[in-house]
A and B are shown apart, each in its own frame.
Chain A
Amino acid sequence: MVVEVECLFGVYMLYCTNPKFKGRIYIGFTVNPERRIGQHNAGRHRGGAKRTSGRGPWEMVLIIHGFPSDIAALRFEWAWQNPHSSRRLSHITRRSKKESSLQFHWRVVSNMLRVMPWSRLPLTARWLKQEYRMDFEPGLQPPLHIPLAFGSIRARKQKPKDVEEEQEEKGADICLLCQGTVKSADKMTCFHPLCHMTSHLICLAKHFLKGEAAHLLPVEGECPGCRHSVLWGSLIRHKNGCYGDLEEHTSSSSQNHWTDELQI
């Protein structure tokens, strides 16, 4: 089953299956994983990186996606490639002799997902190839809103907005939280079917941040309309016209753990 996502910004890990190169790893950034792996395996003259070109068949085994912008993803990519130079990852020890490159990079990324600024982003860690998958170490569990997913992912073009939708709606929208009128630039709606919640961007953020007074950017919260727990990142994606991968997410306050939802 392939998940299709618009506005995909992903940081991926490649594994070299050529025994001559002993499990080499490559980290990169892409907005189109399927195209990218083809480019890597085709060599540098077809768009692949110089470092991977001619170095044995590569498999894209893991991708971290859900970054809200390319800059955020590129910063993550750099830090993953250079954990020992990164300000946020100084606690990560060097690779030990018995640690394979794959294990080391998995350890690094497990750490990264627990650390600011990435720990509050609406990310997903997705193993693209089952045979390589690893679980998070007990001490390196990611934040509860970051799921571990399995399966392929595909970038999807955004559908152009209907002209009608772009025009201001005839009836002015009212914010459910403050009862003020809402302009389309600030308008937040819930993506659950049948939920007609409308609110101001800032009103909803404040609603979600109850209980997290120190923060400016919410991670998740309960929709005031349908009471479903939703990720802030999903709401923003929905607002920007990205409709793929907007799963309902169980809130951190509930008893469920993301591992319950995995199908093996």
Chain B
Amino acid sequence: MQYTCETHSRFYLFLFLYPLTPLSTVAPRRKGQQGPLVPITPMPSYSDMDTPDLKNKLNRFGVRPLPKRQMILKLKEIHQYTHQVISSESEDETPSLGRPRAIGPPPTMEPTRKPVSCAQTGGFKEPSGRAAPAGEEDMEPLSASQGSNTSSTAPSEDSERSNPEQCLSDDSDTDDITASQSASKLQDNLIAVRRFIQSDPDLYGQILHYQPLVLSDLQARLKAAGIRLGAAKLLDYLDSQCITFTTAKYLLKRKHKQKKITDTPH
């Protein structure tokens, strides 16, 4: 399940030392060429190969045996990398391939986490993956996907999921209206949201089943119903109602992964 740094750097080391791929017909190196010139040969049909063959092929690159689906993907990836017209090999790990926790299609790990649209406020604190808060010597904040659950351990889920949980700076709601007026407006909006949920049996049913709601969906539907509620207030309300929410990205990724698991024959 885990794809370690070591095997990966071995792979790149291999490419560096033996730039000609063993899978294609060897072409003589042209002098003066920057990188190795590799003819574009068609990709072998990895999807139809047996597991022992896949294992052997991977072993040539110093990659340990993986689940079959991942081996196929990795071999295809390697083939793409080694069959580029312009040599783009580098000794450093590229972010999209090098994640030790990458499973299946590597999740895009954005170096600066893209904030959820509703949370783009000024004082937005990014969860820095590495810095330990002062005085907390042993609880370094980690990306939360430590689980043994194979279907949902993408590191990027942390960026999506943790954003709504972050401390947000206050919504500057200070217009000309007084505090009590805005409070009662908020109350009205919350009541409207509640009525909206109760009027939709499917939506209410989802909540009663503890199924997470897609935040952007809900926001769009509320907007369409004419209910104006700021994102932070909406999150507060959802929390107070114990309603789990999620950003669509995480769900899409999960659907994508589950689809892949069910599609490829094992």
Contact = CB atoms under 8 A, between A and B. Distances in A.
Given A25-B138, A233-B210, A216 B243 contact: yes
B246 interface: yes
Interface string B183-212: 000000000001001100100110111111
5 contacts: A39-B148, A69-B244, A71-B212, A117-B238, A236-B210
A87 B168 contact: yes
A29 B145 contact: yes
A95 interface: yes
B186 to A, nearest CB: 14
B144 interface: yes
Interface stretch (A45-53, A131-139, A165-173, A245-253): A45-53
A72 interface: yes
Given A44-B2, A74-B157, A87-B167, A82 B149 contact: no
B148 A71 contact: no
A88 B165 contact: yes
A32 interface: yes
Given A30-B149, A121-B242, A216-B243, A71 B141 contact: no
Given A49-B146, A71-B244, A74-B157, A84 B208 contact: no
A183 B159 CA distance: 39
Interface string A217-260: 10000000000000011001001100000000000000000000
A216 B241 contact: yes
Interface string A8-48: 00000000000000001101111110011001000011110
A75 B157 CA distance: 10
B4 to A, nearest CB: 6
9 smallest CB-CB distances across A and B, nearest first, come from A68-B210, A28-B146, A120-B242, A29-B147, A117-B242, A78-B144, A117-B239, A71-B212, A24-B138
Interface of B: 1-2, 4, 100, 125, 127, 133, 135-136, 138-142, 144-149, 152, 157-158, 161-162, 165-168, 194, 197-198, 201, 204-205, 207-212, 235, 238-244, 246, 250
Contact of B244 (A29, A36, A72, A90): A72
Contacts of B210: 68-69, 72, 121, 217, 233, 236
A45 B146 contact: no
Contact of A78 (B1, B149, B161): B161
Given A68-B244, A217-B207, 6 more contacts: A70-B152, A74-B144, A77-B146, A86-B165, A215-B242, A216-B241
Interface residues of A, number: 59
Contacts of A105: 139
A201 B127 CA distance: 39
Contact of A216 (B158, B168, B197): B197
A177 interface: no
A227 to B, nearest CB: 21
B125 to A, nearest CB: 6
A181 to B, nearest CB: 15
B242 A116 contact: yes
B194 A216 contact: yes
A101 interface: yes
Nearest to A38: B148
A39 B167 CA distance: 33
Nearest to A40: B146
Contacts of A120: 242
Q: Of B125, B161, B210, B243, which is in contact with the most chain A CB atoms at under 10 Å from its CB?
A: B210
B50 to A, nearest CB: 25
